[in-house]
Amino acid sequence: MSFVPDGKKLVRSPSGLRMIPENGAFSSPFSLDEPQWVPDKECPRCMQCDTKFDFLTRKHHCRRCGKCFCDKCCSKKVLLPRMCFVDPVRQCAECSLVSQKEMEFYDKQIKVLTNGATFTVTLGTSEKSESMVCRLSNNHRYLFLDGDSHFEVELSRVSSFQILTEGFTPGEKDIHTYTSLLESQYITEGGNTRASGMLLQYKAVGSQDLQQLKLNAREDNKTASAWLVAMHKAAKLLYESRDQ
């Protein structure tokens, strides 16, 4: 184990080199833990094609699911940022497709979220609102809101998200249900359904009471709509990481 700047350390696991926070409490809320590998003695055959392992047919573990496969069924090496691997790692066909789809979020959507967008923000049931820039922190752990005032929301303390769209407003859902709902009513910048705002509930640090935050975008604010679409994808990853 060796230490590097910025509060991170380089560790070697059976799956490969990982760059992780020195303090586990500072992990990205999108991160996933490494899976437990299926023990070799419990895996005499490939878990995909049922080929029997022998001296010539070696077994390999998928770094994402931990299951055991032959080389043919687990030959792809794909980036897996959600587990903080430094280099591409071996994954089965199913897991490699999932990881490749997630790379769009890391390549594009994270930048949109950290750049931020301007919204009209309303706290709780207050009738007052304020124009604020909302952005994801560089460590992905907070939503920062800046205007005449400043406050932040820790993503790990958010209990529900709702993306508000023109012509379609979902009821209150937890992250899982909300994400499934949006998959069936997918929002895009160029589509017929435009993301117009976000409603979230969270617990402030030191409190167990739910607080509500509402963000509304101006009708002509394409940057804000794009930010909301990216936040929709982020919510899906948040649910998956909590459900692991």
Entry field: residues in the chain: 244
CA-wise closest residue to 112 among 230, 237, 232, 194: 230
- Contact, 1 vs 11, CB < 8 A? yes
pLDDT tens-place string over residues 2-55: 434 458 889 898 888 998 887 766 788 899 999 999 999 999 999 999 999 998
* pLDDT attached to residue 111: 95
For the entire predicted model, the pTM comes to 0.78
Q: What is the pLDDT of residue 192?
A: 53
| pLDDT of res. 184 | 33
- Give me the domains of the chain, ranges plus CATH numbers: 2-111 (3.30.40.10), 116-243 (2.30.29.160)
Q: How many CB atoms lie within 10 A of CB 94?
A: 14
pLDDT grade, residue 187 (50/70/90)?
very low
Residues 226, 117 contacting (CB under 8 angstroms): yes
204-211 long-range CB contacts below 8 Å, 24 or more apart?
A: 204/157, 205/154, 205/157, 210/159, 211/123, 211/124
Tens digit of each residue's pLDDT (9 = 90 or more) over 55-103? 889 999 999 999 999 999 999 999 999 999 999 999 999 999 999 999 9
Scan for tokens 């407003």, then name that residue. Answer: 169
What is the reported pLDDT for 244?
A: 58
